[in-house]
Amino acid sequence: MRILVTGGAGFIGARLVRAAVAQGHHVINVDALTYAASLSAVWDLDEMPNYTLVPADVTDGAAMRRVLSDHHPDAIMHLAAESHVDRSIKDAGPFVQTNVVGTFTLLEAVCAYWMDQGQPADFRFHQISTDEVFGALGEDGVFTDQSKYAPNSPYAATKASADHLVRAWHATYGLPTLISYGSNTYGPGQYPEKLIPLALTRAVAGEQIPVYGNGQQVRDWLFVDDHARGLLSVLERGRVGEAYAIGGGTELRNIDLVRALCRQLQVKRPIAGRYTDLITHVPDRPGHDFRYAMDTTRAARELEWCAETRFEDGLAETIDWHLRGVPRPEMTEHNHAVPLGDVA
């Protein structure tokens, strides 16, 4: 397939692009190269005949129309987004712009392109969404792909808005769409503002590791390569107009996750003191969702997909990557808008 991936220089996008190129798909990577992008994660693909990078912004309708007519994709995988909850609380404007206006702009361009092509039934527009659109769970229960939307953060609200646009473009114009709800994703290459890479960066520097509130919030952790494989399964086997929950099946309280990370670090890079002594509880985030968990039965049944990476192994790979000092954009005063660890 010729797959146009938006946000393919981001954390999940880069691993998805690598997996798709390795499977022989032709990938057109459309990315605005914001602070969250990492060209070092995809630079070596420039050598590949089945990979093209197009620096462009999804809110630019003319650029989207151009890339579609230049590259003739069979499928769109839409990952480009502003993705950091704390930033969305500080300033929701860029989230509305990229996640809502950007998705609308892309949908308009893609729908016109699809109609010009004679509305091929095997075309796909895959919207990459998040379990956060469903809001918070209590101690029990799980989200499914049928759960009611109830977003709590500006980030989640803009992702929910984008999902609704995608759904409407399917119902109204017949565009063959798919939606996937991924759970909290971790792994090598994540920008160091999210909980795991932030905790690692701080711990290795001997600095305080911030944990929101009492750290009792529960997240369902999914290794990035399992997520990428899940997205390709949705694209290849998902039923048009449907949505699929892609969860890691590893529920952990934030405080337990940070302690597990400190324990592994103590073995891999021993220090005289204890990394756990660096853990510092900081005031909770407003509207902080208590718990997320996903029922992935449908993905297992219809897509033959399930998460395969044990959390300890995925965490070890993530820590090893950090300790090797693989290049990542540095946090600067300019791009490090919020100094606390996010768990989104």
Catalytic residue at 155? yes
Q: Which two tokens stand for residue 96?
A: 């509305």
Direct distance between the N- and C-terminal alpha carbons of the chain, in angstroms, rounded to an integer: 31
Which of 4, 5, 13, 176 binds ligand NAD (CB under 6 A)? It is 13
Which of 58, 200, 209, 299 binds ligand NAD (CB under 6 A)? It is 58
Nearer to ligand NAD, 129 or 264 (CB): 129
210: left (phi over 0), alpha (psi -120 to 50) or beta: beta
Q: CA 130, CA 339: separation in Å to the nearest integer?
A: 23
Stretch that binds ligand NAD, among 11-19, 137-145, 269-277, 300-308 (CB under 6 A): 11-19
Q: For residue 335, what is the DSSP state?
A: T
Strand partners, 125: 76, 177
Which of 5, 128, 258, 343 binds ligand NAD (CB under 6 A)? It is 128
The sign one gets for the Cα dihedral 324, 261, 286, 180 is positive
Give rounded-to-5 percent helix, strand, coil for the chain.
Answer: 45, 20, 40
Catalytic residue at 132? yes
161 contributes a contact to ligand NAD by CB under 6 A? no
184 contributes a contact to ligand NAD by CB under 6 A? yes
Site for ligand NAD in 240-279 (CB under 6 A): none
182 contributes a contact to ligand NAD by CB under 6 A? yes
34 contributes a contact to ligand NAD by CB under 6 A? yes
Which of 159, 170, 291, 322 binds ligand NAD (CB under 6 A)? It is 159
Catalytic residue at 317? no
Q: With beta carbons less than 8 A apart as the criterion, state whether 103 and 163 touch.
A: no
Angle between helices 154-173 and 103-116 (to 10 degrees): 20
Q: CA 177, CA 179: separation in Å to the nearest integer?
A: 7
32 contributes a contact to ligand NAD by CB under 6 A? yes
- Work out how close the CB of 274 gets to ligand NAD at its nearest, in angstroms, rounded to a whole number: 28
Secondary structure (DSSP) of 247-275: ----EEEHHHHHHHHHHHHHHHS--SS-G
Stretch that binds ligand NAD, among 46-54, 77-85, 165-173, 195-203 (CB under 6 A): 77-85
Picking from 174, 60, 56, 168, the residue whose alpha carbon sits closest to that of residue 109 is 60
- Work out how close the CB of 87 gets to ligand NAD at its nearest, in angstroms, rounded to a whole number: 10
Nearer to ligand NAD, 206 or 290 (CB): 290
Task: Catalog residues that contact ligand NAD under the rule CB under 6 A.
Answer: 6-7, 9-13, 31-34, 36-37, 57-59, 79-83, 98, 102, 128, 130, 159, 182, 184-185, 191
Q: Active-site positions? A: 131-132, 155
